[in-house]
Amino acid sequence: MEIVIIGLPQSGKSCLFDALTQGVSASSGIGNGIEMRIGTAKVPDYRLDELANIYNPQKIIQAEIKYWDPPGMESGVSTEQVSGRYRNILQSADALLVCIRAFESPYIPHIKGTVDPVRDINTILEELMYSDLEMAENAITRLSDSIKKAKPEERQSIERQQETMMQIKDGIEKGDPVLSLMSSFSDVNFLSNYQFLTNKPIIVVYNINESDPSISSINKIQSYSGNLIEISIPARTESELAQMPEEEEKEFREDLGLTESACDQIIQATYKGLSLISFLTVGEDEVRAWPIKSSFNAPEAAGAIHTDFIKGFVKAEVVSYENLLKCKSWAQTKKEGLCKSEGKTYIVQDGDIINFLINQ
């Protein structure tokens, strides 16, 4: 899971990155002279600790989300930047995290002169839409050329693709993100080659002062019906807290009245936006969470461990988290008939504890 953080200058997106990754990052060159910070966030899961009490494993391995922090955009989000050298970064991500400034500070001027979260999020969404429009127009032109050169048996398929692209273009021009259009298309497999930006989940994080109330602007965001999730957090405060020792962080949170890590809320929102769940594996060597799509069947889930397991899948022994916690051992779940044998069509549920039987 790879999430790219974008935002206008002075929005606090780098503070947000530090909060999510606890200030630990590695720079990565990606060509065209662009460098960006990359870091990982651990997905909080209380179930791992409870299972560790049973198995006393050598390792506890949480699911992870990778965050990218591209360099600041000198003049803000612009058509040239979203459609040009930054587009590949955004297209490669599974979701976009948009940091919107919602705090006032006389020491940090806003590039547009005033703090206006609704204006800023609309600016960014409009540029993402424009980037997708440009991509659709270019695709239509290329497909037109392909139709002229195509063999008779290939022409019909290319024409259908062109028709889909024209529908996307028309939809974007009406203000519809690509995600909201997908259900109307019969063939969407070829669209994965294009990576439209507004076909991705978008998590909007309003960067507030710690004393500010949470805000919501969804009802004010113009002409956007995509997968949009909103959260408010004080990014600078969370960044400082995330880099403290655990006990010290806990004390400061209590003093500030911040009972839950706002970064955990973002991570959970990322899971929701990407339609992810976690299944678990247990043993004396490790207790581990594996992130997968909520639609995955048992062989696809096995493939998250190793791709060879998809082909070699025989069956899955499945125990719910609650039942293993109650029985205290895998053997006891079998004695009580709580360990189910599932085949290839079984849809994995969040919190399933699974032992895969693989033909190698």
**Residue 204 burial by Cβ neighbours in a 10 Å radius (0-12, 13-18, 19+):** buried
Q: How far is CA 226 from the centre of its chain?
A: 14
Question: What average pLDDT score do residues 6-20 get?
Answer: 90
- Per domain, the residue ranges of the chain are 2-44+62-116+199-273, 126-195, 295-358
pLDDT number for residue 256: 78
pLDDT number for residue 88: 84
pLDDT number for residue 247: 84
CATH of domain 2-44+62-116+199-273: 3.40.50.300
Percent of the chain beyond pLDDT 70?
89
Reported as a pLDDT band with limits 50, 70 and 90, residue 241 is confident
pLDDT number for residue 288: 98
pLDDT number for residue 140: 96
Res 232 pLDDT > 90: no
pLDDT number for residue 217: 53
Cα distance between residue 6 and residue 73, in whole Å: 9
Of 160, 162, 157, residue with least CA distance to 141: 162
DSSP run (H or E) holding 192: none
In this structure, how many other beta carbons lie within 10 angstroms of the beta carbon of residue 269?
Answer: 19
Reported as a pLDDT band with limits 50, 70 and 90, residue 77 is very low
- β-strand partners of 314: none
Res 219 pLDDT > 60: no
- β-strand partners of 61: 288
Cα distance between residue 235 and residue 59, in whole Å: 31
What's the token pair of residue 38? Answer: 């990359």
pTM exceeds cut of 0.75: yes
In this structure, how many other beta carbons lie within 10 angstroms of the beta carbon of residue 120?
Answer: 26
Of 21, 20, 33, 7, residue with least CA distance to 110: 7
Each residue's pLDDT tens digit, 123-180: 888 889 999 999 999 999 999 999 999 898 889 999 999 999 999 999 999 989 998 8
Task: Give 295-350 as a DSSP string.
Answer: T-BHHHHHHHH-THHHHHEEEEEEEEHHHHHHHSSHHHHHHTT--EEE-TTPBP-T
pLDDT number for residue 84: 64
Most confident range (mean pLDDT) of 159-168, 178-187, 227-236, 253-262 is 159-168
CA distances from 239 to 105, 229, 259, 301 (A): 18, 21, 15, 34
Cα distance between residue 273 and residue 179, in whole Å: 12
Which position has the token pair 């096995």?
302
Reported as a pLDDT band with limits 50, 70 and 90, residue 207 is very high
In this structure, the strands spanning 64-69 and 2-7 are parallel
In this structure, how many other beta carbons lie within 10 angstroms of the beta carbon of residue 113?
Answer: 7
- Better-scored residue on pLDDT, 283 or 183: 283
SS3 276: strand
Res 341 pLDDT > 50: yes
Cα distance between residue 60 and residue 284, in whole Å: 10
Each residue's pLDDT tens digit, 30-66: 655 667 889 999 999 999 999 999 999 999 999 999 9
CA distances from 83 to 90, 132, 136, 250 (A): 10, 8, 12, 43
pLDDT number for residue 75: 46
Each residue's pLDDT tens digit, 78-120: 444 565 667 888 898 999 999 999 988 888 888 888 989 988 9
pLDDT number for residue 76: 46
Reported as a pLDDT band with limits 50, 70 and 90, residue 212 is low
3-state secondary structure 71-126: CCCECECCHHHHHCCCHHHHHHCCEEEEEEECCCCCCCCCCCCCCCHHHHHHHHHH
pLDDT number for residue 60: 98
The answer to whether 2-44+62-116+199-273 and 295-358 have equal CATH topology is no
SS3 201: coil
Res 343 pLDDT > 60: yes
Question: What average pLDDT score do residues 223-240 get?
Answer: 78
Residues whose CB falls within 8 Å of the CB of residue 218, separated by 6 or more in sequence, listed in order: 228, 230
With left for phi above 0 and alpha for psi between -120 and 50, is residue 357 left, alpha or beta? beta
Reported as a pLDDT band with limits 50, 70 and 90, residue 72 is low
Res 223 pLDDT > 60: no
The CATH topology of domain 295-358 is Ubiquitin-like (UB roll) (3.10.20)
Calculate the average pLDDT of the chain.
87
